């Protein structure tokens, strides 16, 4: 039969994990879940500015944006932008980590050099790339001219402007993702690679059958944060193109910014925010579920 003191100790042990989680749960509720609920409620109204009361309009804002060419264009641009930045930046980060895996005298310098773009504020990086992409006198056209190629208006051409922004994002993020892969590579057991060598596996076979499966959790994490980054960045759009030319670089976050602060339609802005959050959560969930099937977790 349990004594009163034993029952008290048992209850204390049962409650302890919940008490430890309580501060984090309160912070998340206050600064994340409650604001998200407020955004969702605002998306069901015709509010024009912050502070307006507005009236309930139901799903009207959602129906409006999904029949609007600007929003659908921003949705397509962001999907293209995400595919064109997540894949190359993650692959480059992985290749950089593989190349700098072995510690040499130059490792620290090369790692710092590749990580340096991450330290540059996005607005500053955008200002640098405006010079790089400047027609005729920009750095890119300068070297292309030496190859006999004509000057190009990179940011003024609707077919090239979004690709130019993708180049900036890839340049900035690859070094950041490299750090995660370097940390993951340190956890790959050497004896597994040595066993593969003894079995006669070449470098590519060891990479495909040993290293990549061991880095499954790292790949899953990096892909998710790269997806979030592809949707959450807007500074370079404001600095470099302001969504142009002809809305060719109008991404979802810039569309939301325009609706809220230029066109003063808070209802549409919050509806687009809810759609963006839902798309981001769905993509993150599908990415994790797909990649976790190939993930190797050490026990």
Q: What is the pLDDT of residues 229-242, one digit of tens each?
A: 898 888 889 999 99
**E strand or H helix at 115:** helix 107-119
Q: Residue 194, SS3? A: helix
Q: Is 191 buried (19+), middle (13-18) or exposed (0-12) by CB count in 10 A?
A: exposed
Q: Is 121 buried (19+), middle (13-18) or exposed (0-12) by CB count in 10 A?
A: exposed
Single pTM value for the model: 0.84
**155 within 8 A of 161, measured Cβ to Cβ:** yes
- CA-based torsion, 5, 9, 11, 12: positive or negative: positive
* pLDDT value of position 1: 52
Tokens of 166: 């993708």
| pLDDT tens-place string over residues 94-133 | 999 999 888 777 888 888 899 999 998 888 999 999 999 9
Give me the half-sphere count of Cα atoms (radius 13 Å) on the Cβ side of residue 16. 7
| Helix 252-261 × helix 266-292 angle, to 10° | 160
Residues above pLDDT 90, as percent of the chain: 44
Report the pLDDT averaged over residues 85-90: 94
Alpha-carbon distances, residue 50 vs 25, 78, 91, 282 (angstroms): 27, 26, 42, 29
**80 within 8 A of 163, measured Cβ to Cβ:** no
Alpha-carbon distances, residue 59 vs 13, 46, 51, 64 (angstroms): 47, 10, 21, 9
* pLDDT value of position 162: 94
Alpha-carbon distances, residue 186 vs 102, 182, 197, 218, 236 (angstroms): 10, 6, 18, 12, 34
Q: How far apart are CA 31 and CA 122, in angstroms?
A: 25
Buried (b) or exposed (e) across 163-185, using 16+ Cβ within 10 A?
ebbbbbbbbbbbbbbbbbbbebb
- Does residue 8 or residue 63 have the better pLDDT? 63
| pLDDT tens-place string over residues 256-298 | 999 998 999 999 999 999 999 898 888 878 777 776 665 555 5
| pLDDT tens-place string over residues 185-229 | 988 888 888 888 888 888 888 888 888 888 888 898 899 899 888
Q: How far apart are CA 70 and CA 227, in angstroms?
A: 22
Please, which contacts does 56-59 make with residues 24 or more away whose CB atoms are closer than 8 Å? 57/267
* pLDDT value of position 169: 94
| Polymer length of the chain | 299
């Amino acid at each position: 039969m349990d004594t009163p003191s034993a029952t008290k100790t048992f209850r204390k042990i049962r409650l302890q994990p919940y008490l430890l989680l309580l501060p984090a749960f309160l912070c998340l509720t206050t600064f994340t879940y409650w604001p998200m609920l407020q955004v969702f409620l605002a998306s069901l109204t015709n509010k024009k500015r912050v502070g307006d009361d507005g009236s309930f309009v139901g799903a009207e804002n959602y129906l409006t944006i999904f029949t609007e060419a600007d929003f659908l264009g921003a949705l397509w641009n962001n999907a293209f932008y995400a595919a064109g930045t997540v894949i190359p930046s993650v692959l480059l980060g992985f290749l950089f980590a593989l190349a700098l895996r072995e510690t040499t005298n130059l490792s620290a310098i090369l790692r710092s050099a590749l990580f340096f773009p991450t330290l540059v504020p996005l607005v500053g990086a955008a200002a640098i790339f405006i010079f790089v992409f400047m027609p005729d006198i920009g750095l890119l056209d300068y070297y292309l001219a030496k190859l006999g190629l004509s000057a190009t208006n990179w940011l003024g051409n609707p077919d090239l402007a979004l690709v130019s922004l993708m180049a900036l994002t890839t340049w900035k993020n690859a070094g950041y993702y490299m750090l995660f892969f370097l940390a993951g590579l340190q956890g790959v057991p050497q004896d597994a690679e040595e066993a593969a060598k003894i079995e006669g596996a070449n470098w590519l076979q060891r990479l495909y059958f040993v290293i990549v499966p061991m880095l499954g959790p790292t790949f899953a994490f990096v892909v998710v944060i790269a997806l979030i980054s592809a949707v959450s960045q807007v500074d370079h759009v404001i600095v470099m193109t302001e969504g142009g030319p002809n809305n060719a670089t109008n991404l979802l976050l810039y569309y939301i910014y325009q609706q809220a602060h230029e066109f003063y339609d808070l209802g549409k802005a919050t509806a687009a925010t809810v759609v963006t959050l839902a798309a981001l959560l769905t993509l993150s969930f599908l990415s994790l579920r797909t990649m976790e099937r190939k993930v190797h977790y050490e026990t």
